[in-house]
Amino acid sequence: MDGMSGPHVIRGSVSLPEAELQWRFSRSSGPGGQHVNTSDSQVELRFDLAGTDALPEVWKARALERLASRLVDGVITVRSSEHRSQWRNRETAAVRLAALLAEATAPPPKPRKPTRIPRGINERRLREKKQRAETKRGRTGRDWG
């Protein structure tokens, strides 16, 4: 019955190593009708990030740094219990883990180059500002009586 939909790609040619994934199944919490409280549909997926060789070293270092708050002894855990079927929860958990690792291993963004505002634009802004102030100053009711 193990018909998982292929390897879950993290990025490029790197995908989640099926052999290094640890699955745990338990009963989902929350309300339910017949059968729902007796089936182990909640899925917990654990991946040893610190001990894996499936990721390039640079990616691994980046992920360990970025996911530090979520790691327990170098292991990352993803839970899924929104679906009623265990199989769909397994899919969701694997996709979530792949997305998390993809985000954590992404290269840092390029630094922003500050751009200068052209002088003409700044002058026009100041000119319009002055004009607006004139208009408003003309509204004071001194000589209106």
**Per-residue model confidence as pLDDT tens digits over 47-93:** 887 777 777 788 888 888 888 888 788 788 888 888 878 888 888 88
Integer Cα distance of 88 and 84 in angstroms = 8
pLDDT tens track for 14-26: 777 777 777 888 8
3-class secondary structure, 72: strand
- On the question of pLDDT at 135 being above 80, the answer is yes
- On the question of pLDDT at 40 being above 80, the answer is no
Give 131 or 23, the one with higher predicted confidence: 131
How confident is residue 140, by pLDDT bands cut at 50, 70 and 90?
Answer: confident
Alpha carbon 116 to chain centroid, angstroms: 33
Consecutive H or E run containing 48: strand 42-48
Phi, psi of 142 (to 5 degrees): -65, -60
Give 119 or 58, the one with higher predicted confidence: 119
Q: Which pLDDT score is estimated for 48?
A: 81
Integer Cα distance of 125 and 51 in angstroms = 58
How confident is residue 127, by pLDDT bands cut at 50, 70 and 90?
Answer: very high
Give 129 or 17, the one with higher predicted confidence: 129
- On the question of pLDDT at 9 being above 80, the answer is no
